[in-house]
């Protein structure tokens, strides 16, 4: 169990100005680190963000036998000449979703593997049934234990796998199993998020044969061996949207260097419709407020829809917008828990179990509070905030930045898992943020 290293003390009310640079995408880099296990040769990743989640994945890889060398501040060489242990310690049970992706590579390298279960988390149940069904269809013998799962096989075989929902993790899991399997694997209803495609690019550079069809079908022709490669992962579109929202929410003007328009199209449309605007620059995208913010209707969805990880900063923006906004969350059944603390700050957000806004999703009639109505504009007041998960974490930063008065934010360990140097970046664009070491804090 990790503890906070520090709390953040934020005094709101300052428009943010200047420029900030986004790092490599957490959800691409961590998967590519796992993919590097598919060969005994070294691979190099550049543009690696210095975030806690990367440190955790490197610890996991080291336990399996990976040799890790930082070549410079952002470039990492990983090499696994031999798998020294087919199992990952149960210490990692419930830590993140990465160990389950190691099953395919470990099956190819040593024919068996035992992996701790990812566990639940505060945004929904997040089961792994699609992952295990896919591996079973490819010939793995899967045994589920209360805290871990064991897989064995003589050789993975290509298969036709139809995902009940285009799950990012399950698509990646089957991909990593399929690239070295005997024969062809077809993944129907696959996820095609930019991070998944970027990992496909990494695998193709390693020698894999993968094609993506227009109808969400991914076809993988298994090859006998893969080799090491050098790859620069895409930039983090969630971090980019987070700083974009901060610029617009505070009425400032921030150039987000490294923001890539092609990965933000849906976000940019909604931002413009609610009163923000942007200009693509040579280095990234400049974000600013065009007019007083007005209510919007947004539904999260799989790519190219509005990402579920953009939903939390958007909700804070909508607390500052005139009128009644509706957000329908269709990816996770329980991802609005964080709004209760925003209401304590003065927001007016009501949750509903109905599919608000038109389209019914798979959570219809299931009693999950997966729609939100945000009445605005509301005046937020600073206060104590406890971060419950990574993306809610940036939403609280944003709320503190627009609030009157000072907020003290704890649970910062969640935020630092996925955001690189958030305090340094926020200060560089004029935010009033102080860090308070937890040990010297007697609250």
Contacting positions for ligand EPZ (CB under 6 A): 26-27, 97, 124-131, 165, 167-170, 191, 193, 308-309, 331-332, 390-391, 418
Give the nearest distance from C-beta 194 to ligand EPZ in angstroms: 10
Cβ atoms 372, 349 nearer than 8 A: yes
Give the nearest distance from C-beta 140 to ligand EPZ in angstroms: 15
Other beta carbons within 10 angstroms of residue 297's beta carbon come to: 15
Of 78 and 128, nearer to ligand EPZ (C-beta) is 128
121 tagged catalytic = yes
The candidate with the shortest Cα–Cα distance to 303, out of 268, 266, 257, is 266
Of 161 and 347, nearer to ligand EPZ (C-beta) is 161
Cβ partners under 8 Å of residue 62, min gap 6 = 68
Of 162 and 324, nearer to ligand EPZ (C-beta) is 162
CB burial string 60-84: b at 16+ within 10 A, e below: bbeebbbeeeeeeebebbbbbeebe
Q: For residues 160 and 138, give the distance between their C-alpha atoms in angstroms, rounded to a whole number.
A: 8
Phi, psi of 342 (to 5 degrees): -65, -40
Give the nearest distance from C-beta 143 to ligand EPZ in angstroms: 17
Beta-strand runs (E) in 290-399? 297-299, 323-328, 348-352, 371-376, 384-386
Alpha helices of 65-138 — where are they, by DSSP H?
Answer: 103-110, 129-137
Give the nearest distance from C-beta 55 to ligand EPZ in angstroms: 15
Q: For residues 331 and 77, give the distance between their C-alpha atoms in angstroms, rounded to a whole number.
A: 34
Inter-CA distances, 179 with 38, 124, 166, 341, Å = 9, 30, 19, 45
Of 38 and 170, nearer to ligand EPZ (C-beta) is 170
Of 27 and 378, nearer to ligand EPZ (C-beta) is 27
Q: Residue count of the chain, please give it.
A: 443
Q: For residues 172 and 195, give the distance between their C-alpha atoms in angstroms, rounded to a whole number.
A: 10
Give the nearest distance from C-beta 18 to ligand EPZ in angstroms: 26
Give the nearest distance from C-beta 82 to ligand EPZ in angstroms: 27
Q: Give me 132's structure tokens.
A: 């295990």
Could you report how far apart the first and last alpha carbons of the chain are, in Å? 20
Of 332 and 396, nearer to ligand EPZ (C-beta) is 332
- Angle at which helices 194-205 and 26-35 pack, to 10 degrees? 30
Q: Catalytic residue positions?
A: 121
């Amino acid at each position: 169990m990790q503890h906070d290293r520090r709390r953040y003390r934020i005094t709101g009310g300052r428009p943010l100005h200047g420029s900030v640079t986004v790092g490599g995408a957490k959800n691409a880099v961590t998967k590519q680190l796992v993919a590097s296990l598919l060969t005994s040769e070294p691979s190099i990743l550049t543009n690696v963000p210095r975030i806690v989640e990367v440190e955790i994945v490197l610890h996991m890889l080291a336990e399996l036998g990976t040799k890790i060398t930082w070549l410079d501040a952002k470039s990492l060489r990983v090499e696994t000449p031999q798998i020294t242990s087919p199992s990952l310690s149960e210490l990692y049970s419930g830590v993140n979703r990465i160990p389950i992706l190691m099953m395919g590579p470990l099956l190819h390298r040593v024919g068996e593997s035992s992996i701790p279960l990812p566990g639940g988390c505060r945004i929904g149940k997040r089961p792994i049934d699609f992952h295990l069904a896919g591996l079973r269809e490819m010939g793995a013998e899967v045994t589920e234990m209360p805290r871990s799962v064991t897989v064995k096989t003589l050789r993975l075989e290509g298969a036709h796998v139809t995902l009940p929902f285009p799950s990012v993790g399950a698509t990646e899991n089957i991909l990593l199993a399929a690239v070295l399997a005997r024969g062809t694997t077809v993944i129907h209803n696959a996820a095609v998020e930019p991070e998944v495609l970027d990992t496909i690019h990494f695998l193709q550079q390693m020698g894999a044969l993968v094609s993506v069809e227009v109808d969400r079908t991914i076809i993988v022709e298994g090859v006998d061996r893969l080799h090491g490669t050098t790859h620069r992962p895409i930039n983090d579109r969630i971090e980019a949207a987070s700083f974009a929202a901060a610029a617009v929410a505070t009425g400032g003007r921030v150039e987000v260097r490294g923001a890539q328009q092609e990965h933000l199209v849906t976000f940019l449309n909604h931002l413009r419709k609610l009163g923000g605007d942007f200009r693509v620059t040579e280095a990234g995208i400049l974000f600013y407020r065009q007019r007083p913010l007005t209510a919007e209707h947004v539904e999260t969805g799989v790519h190219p829809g509005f990402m579920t990880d953009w939903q939390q900063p958007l909700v804070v923006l909508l607390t500052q917008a005139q009128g009644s906004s509706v957000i329908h969350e269709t990816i996770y059944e329980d991802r609005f828990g964080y709004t209760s603390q925003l209401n304590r700050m003065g927001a007016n957000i009501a949750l509903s179990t109905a599919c608000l806004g038109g389209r019914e999703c798979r959570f219809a009639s299931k009693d999950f509070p997966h729609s939100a109505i945000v009445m605005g504009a509301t005046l937020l007041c600073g206060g104590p905030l406890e971060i419950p998960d990574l993306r809610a974490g940036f939403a609280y930063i944003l709320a503190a930045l627009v609030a009157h008065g000072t907020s003290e934010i704890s649970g910062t360990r969640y935020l630092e898992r996925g955001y690189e140097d958030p305090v340094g970046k926020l200060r560089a664009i004029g935010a009033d943020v102080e860090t308070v070491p937890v040990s010297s804090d007697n609250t």
